């Protein structure tokens, strides 16, 4: 049995876990660019095809707590392999879905391991790293997810456009299968925490700090999605970019995510709470600036990059959840990604409300800034509660 803080095992394990994150990130985001192809093939409208995105998000929200609790006493490595195997099977089956309803069901199933995988991977990476580098270790695992927006999604989208949307899911399933092998070979044997059980994991839900930390992510992180969900029409209608130029600007968003994740994790190692508070303030500034920068190509391009850096808060919130969960870390760590998917739903919905009310495409910037300020309020409540006996 390998001991924690095993530096010899750290890099092979983190790279293997990152490959799994790369597969999940590619599988989650690639469908967004292939909706017209899915709609044509299955004989539904594009908005109906968009329901497969909602089905995936619902699977993440439900699967994270469910699988974390049910597998509370599994060894870390076995659980990670099982989760990645389920993800691989779900994506390969999605590629063979005969119709609209079956595709929605299979996307839901493929999403179930998403949150638990990242939660357990974060626990493993943090255990293998020195105590003062836990957030950096989590950030390295998350690099798999953020690099998917730069490499995996464009590659799978190209494959889908030339060989059909089903080929994109075959690619995702194949990457996930490779990740299973790498994880089994590279991640050390790590048993579940002593005395771990489903009931003990559920104890995390009785801790106010767990709920408040989840609230910071679900609300404060929602602003990014309020803007990004409607970034294409903003760039074409307000900025005046051609449709062909939009992917170039969106690649800056992916680059921002990648850099923000690395910088945010390093800052979190120095000061966890200051990083969370600082990134929330940064969120409000960057998202509010969308209103001013949207008419100018250079300004909005730089701002889109900055919007991507908002992901810097993710490693810090992951570590904070692990710290405040006590002996129920698996469930708390897994719920982090449920919170982010709730942020996705909340931000996209509120942004749509503002646009439908006639405030224009740039109004999503104000929505995002307000959500960041609301996240600051939740964070302040969390710090105030933590000081109370």
| Boundary of a domain, candidates 156, 176, 192 | 192
Q: Could you tell me if 152 and 272 lie in one domain?
A: no
Greater pLDDT, 270 or 6: 270
Mean pLDDT, the chain, integer: 89
Does 1 have pLDDT greater than 60?
Answer: no
Q: Could you tell me if 139 and 244 lie in one domain?
A: no
**Under 8 Å CB-to-CB from 119, ≥6 apart: which residues?**
64, 68, 318, 330, 331, 332, 333, 334, 335, 336, 337
The C-alpha atoms of residue 294 and residue 47 are separated, in whole angstroms, by: 26
- Tell me, what's the pLDDT at 111? 93
H/E run at residue 196: none
Q: Could you tell me if 11 and 134 lie in one domain?
A: yes
- Tell me, what's the pLDDT at 386? 82
Cα separations in angstroms, 310 against 289, 334, 372, 386: 13, 20, 10, 25
- Which residue range(s) make up the domain with 227? 195-389
Which structure tokens are listed for 275?
């990083």
Does 2 have pLDDT greater than 60?
Answer: no
- Tell me, what's the pLDDT at 389? 63
> Binning pLDDT at 50, 70 and 90, where does residue 246 land?
confident
If one counts every other C-beta atom within 10 angstroms of the C-beta of residue 255, the result is 17
Read off the pLDDT of each residue in 114-125 and give the average, rounded to a whole number: 92
Q: Of how many residues is the chain composed?
A: 389
The CATH number given to whatever domain includes residue 224 is: 1.20.1250.20
pTM over 0.75? The answer is: yes
Q: Could you tell me if 264 and 317 lie in one domain?
A: yes
pLDDT digits (tens, 9 = 90+) for 222-234: 999 889 888 888 9
Q: Could you tell me if 221 and 263 lie in one domain?
A: yes
Q: Could you tell me if 144 and 248 lie in one domain?
A: no
What's the gap between Cα 73 and its chain centre?
A: 25
Most distant CA pair in the chain: distance in Å?
61
* Cα–Cα nearest to 372, from 337, 343, 332, 330: 343
Domains of the chain: total? 2
Written as one string, the DSSP assignment of 220-247 is ITHHHHHHHTTHHHIIIIII---GGGHH
Q: Could you tell me if 204 and 272 lie in one domain?
A: yes
| Boundary of a domain, candidates 159, 192, 225 | 192
Provide, rounded to the nearest whole percent, the portion of the chain with pLDDT above 70: 97
Most confident of 79-88, 150-159, 187-196, 341-350: 79-88
Read off the pLDDT of each residue in 296-301 and give the average, rounded to a whole number: 95
Q: Which of 58-72, 98-112, 161-175, 322-336 has the lowest mean pLDDT?
A: 322-336
| Locus of tokens 């969370």 | 276
The C-alpha atoms of residue 136 and residue 21 are separated, in whole angstroms, by: 16
Read off the pLDDT of each residue in 125-131 and give the average, rounded to a whole number: 88
Written as one string, the DSSP assignment of 28-70 is HHGGGGSHHHHHHHHT--HHHHTHHHHHHHHHHHHHHHHHHHH
Contact (Cβ atoms closer than 8 angstroms) between residue 330 and residue 201:
yes
Q: Could you tell me if 200 and 187 lie in one domain?
A: no
Which structure tokens are listed for 362?
């740039």
Contact (Cβ atoms closer than 8 angstroms) between residue 77 and residue 190:
yes
Read off the pLDDT of each residue in 122-148 and give the average, rounded to a whole number: 89
The C-alpha atoms of residue 106 and residue 95 are separated, in whole angstroms, by: 9
| Boundary of a domain, candidates 192, 211, 243 | 192
pLDDT digits (tens, 9 = 90+) for 4-54: 555 678 889 999 999 999 999 999 888 877 777 888 899 988 778 878 888
Q: Could you tell me if 243 and 150 lie in one domain?
A: no
Cα separations in angstroms, 104 against 53, 282, 363, 368: 8, 36, 31, 29
pLDDT digits (tens, 9 = 90+) for 317-361: 999 998 888 777 888 888 888 898 889 888 888 988 898 889 989
């Amino acid at each position: 049995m390998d001991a924690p803080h095993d530096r010899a095992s750290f890099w092979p394990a983190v790279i293997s876990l990152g490959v799994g994150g790369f597969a999940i990130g590619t599988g989650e985001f690639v469908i967004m660019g292939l909706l017209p192809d899915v709609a044509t093939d299955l004989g539904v409208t594009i908005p109906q095809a968009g329901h497969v995105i909602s089905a995936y998000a619902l699977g993440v929200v439900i699967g994270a707590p469910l699988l974390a609790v049910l597998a509370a006493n599994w060894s870390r490595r076995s659980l990670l392999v099982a989760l990645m195997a389920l993800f691989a099977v779900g994506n390969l089956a999605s590629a063979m879905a005969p119709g609209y309803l079956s595709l929605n069901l299979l996307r839901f199933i493929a999403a179930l391991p998403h949150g638990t995988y990242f939660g357990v991977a974060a626990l493993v990476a943090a255990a293998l790293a020195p105590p003062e580098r836990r957030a950096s270790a989590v950030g390295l695992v998350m690099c798999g997810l953020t690099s998917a927006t730069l490499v995996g999604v464009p590659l799978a989208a190209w494959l889908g456009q030339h060989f059909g949307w089903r080929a994109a899911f075959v690619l995702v399933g194949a990457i996930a299968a490779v990740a299973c092998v790498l994880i089994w070979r590279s991640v050390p044997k790590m048993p579940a925490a002593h005395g771990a059980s489903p009931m003990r994991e559920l104890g995390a839900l009785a801790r106010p700090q767990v709920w408040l930390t989840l609230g910071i992510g679900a609300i404060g992180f929602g602003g990014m999605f309020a803007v990004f969900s409607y970034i294409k029409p903003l760039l074409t209608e307000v900025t005046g970019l051609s449709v062909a130029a939009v992917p170039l600007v969106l690649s800056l968003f992916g680059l921002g995510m990648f850099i923000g994740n690395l910088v945010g994790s390093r800052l979190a190692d120095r000061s966890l709470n200051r990083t969370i508070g600082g990134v929330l303030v940064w969120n409000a500034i960057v998202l509010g600036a969308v209103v001013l920068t949207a008419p100018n190509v250079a300004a909005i391009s730089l701002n889109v990059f900055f919007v991507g850096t908002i992901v810097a808060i993710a490693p810090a919130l992951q570590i904070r959840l692990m710290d405040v969960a006590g002996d129920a870390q698996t469930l708390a760590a897994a719920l982090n990604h449920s919170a982010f998917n709730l942020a996705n739903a909340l931000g996209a919905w509120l942004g749509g409300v503002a646009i439908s009310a006639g405030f224009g495409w740039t109004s999503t910037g104000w929505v995002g800034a307000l959500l960041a300020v609301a996240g600051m309020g939740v964070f302040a409540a969390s710090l105030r509660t933590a000081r109370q006996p």
